[in-house]
Amino acid sequence: MPKLSRADAPLTGNREYHIALERGELAEYILLVGDPGRVAKVAKRLDSIEVERSNREFATVTGAYRGMRLSVMSTGIGTDNVEIVLAEVMEITDQATLIRVGSSGALLPEIAGGDLIVSTGAVRLENTTDWYVHPGYPAIAHRDVVWALEAACIEAGVRYHLGITATASGFYAPQGRAMRTLPVRYPDLAEELRRQRVANFEMESSALFVLAGLAGLRAGTVCAAYAQRVDGTFLEEAAKEAAEARCIDVGLARIHLLWEIDNGDEGDHRSRRSAMTGRQGGER
C-alpha cells in the first residue's frame, strides 16, 4: 500500500473529511439514500440511536434495528458524491454491506409509477468510475443483495421489476429530458435505452456497484419509480411518499436478512435462496 499524505487522505481530527465520521461510528450494514431528509425517515424505524452526525450533504444515523447495528447515510446527488462517501466509508469499516434506497425514472411501459426496481447492474453513463476502471468495465450488483431485495418485494407483495439501471451524470440533458432554456445533445436517449430494455434512470448506482465490487463488498440498489418516461407522468406527493416508504421497508427488511444469514441464522433462508436463484429472474 502506498504511503498517503495528509493531502491524499485529509482528516478533521480523527474524522473522515467529508462524512465527518470516525472508526466505530458506522455499522458494517449501511443503507445509502440520496436525500438527507430520507435519513430521518429511516431513523424513525430504528429501535434506538447511538450516533447522529451531519456535514455538508452527508447525514448519518447509526443505531439498532431488530437486534442488528445499522447505519443510514445520505450521499447527496450523483456518482461523484457516491465516490467520496464510499472512499471514506471504506477507511473506517471492515467489510461493509451497502444497499441504496432511492428514486428513479421508469423507462419501460410496463413499469408503473410507484413500482420498485431492483437493479441487476447499471449502464455507466457517467465518468466518475472511468478514473478507477476501463470504460468497458461492467457495473454489477452483488447477487446476494439482488436475491435478498427480490425476496423482500415478493414477501411484501409489492409490484417490482428486476432490470438494468442507467446511471446518468445529471438529471436533465444527461437523461435526455427536453428543456425550454438549454439545448439537449441526445434528446432520443431515453428511447434508445428503452429499446435496449434498460429499466430505469437514476444517478448513483453504477459508482456504488463498481467501487464496492473493486473492494470486494456487497452492494445493491432498490429504487421507486417516481417518473414514467414513456407516458410523461410524475407521482403526486402522497403517492411519492407511499412509494418511498415501500422502498425503505424493502431495504430495511433485506439488509436485516443478510445480517441474519451472516450471523448464522440461516434456517429457512438458505432453502428460499436456493429456490429463488434456481429460477430465471424477471419482472413480477
> Measured between alpha carbons, how far is 137 from 211 in angstroms, rounded to an integer?
11
- Whether residue 179 has pLDDT greater than 90: yes
State mean pLDDT over 81-110: 97
- Whether residue 123 has pLDDT greater than 90: yes
Type of residue found at 71:
S
- Whether residue 23 has pLDDT greater than 70: yes
Mean pLDDT of the chain: 93
- Whether residue 274 has pLDDT greater than 80: no
- Whether residue 163 has pLDDT greater than 90: yes
C-alpha cell at 107: 423507462
- Whether residue 207 has pLDDT greater than 80: yes
> Measured between alpha carbons, how far is 247 from 115 in angstroms, rounded to an integer?
9
Query: Is residue 124 packed enough to be buried (19+ CB in 10 Å), middle (13-18) or exposed (0-12)?
Result: buried
Count CA within 13 A, CB hemisphere, residue 70.
Answer: 27
pLDDT at 9: 84
State mean pLDDT over 208-216: 98
Proportion of the chain above pLDDT 70, given as a percent: 93
- Whether residue 282 has pLDDT greater than 50: no
> Measured between alpha carbons, how far is 39 from 72 in angstroms, rounded to an integer?
6
pLDDT at 4: 81
Type of residue found at 203:
M
State mean pLDDT over 205-229: 98
pLDDT at 270: 52
Q: Which residues, other chains included, contact 257 with Cβ-Cβ below 8 Å and sequence gap of 6+? A: 148, 151, 152, 269
> Looking at the chain, which runs of residues are DSSP E strands?
11-12, 15-16, 29-33, 48-55, 58-65, 68-74, 97-106, 116-125, 139-140, 160-168, 198-202, 218-228, 233-234
Q: Are 146 and 120 in contact (CB under 8 A)?
A: yes
C-alpha cell at 43: 431513523
- Whether residue 61 has pLDDT greater than 80: yes
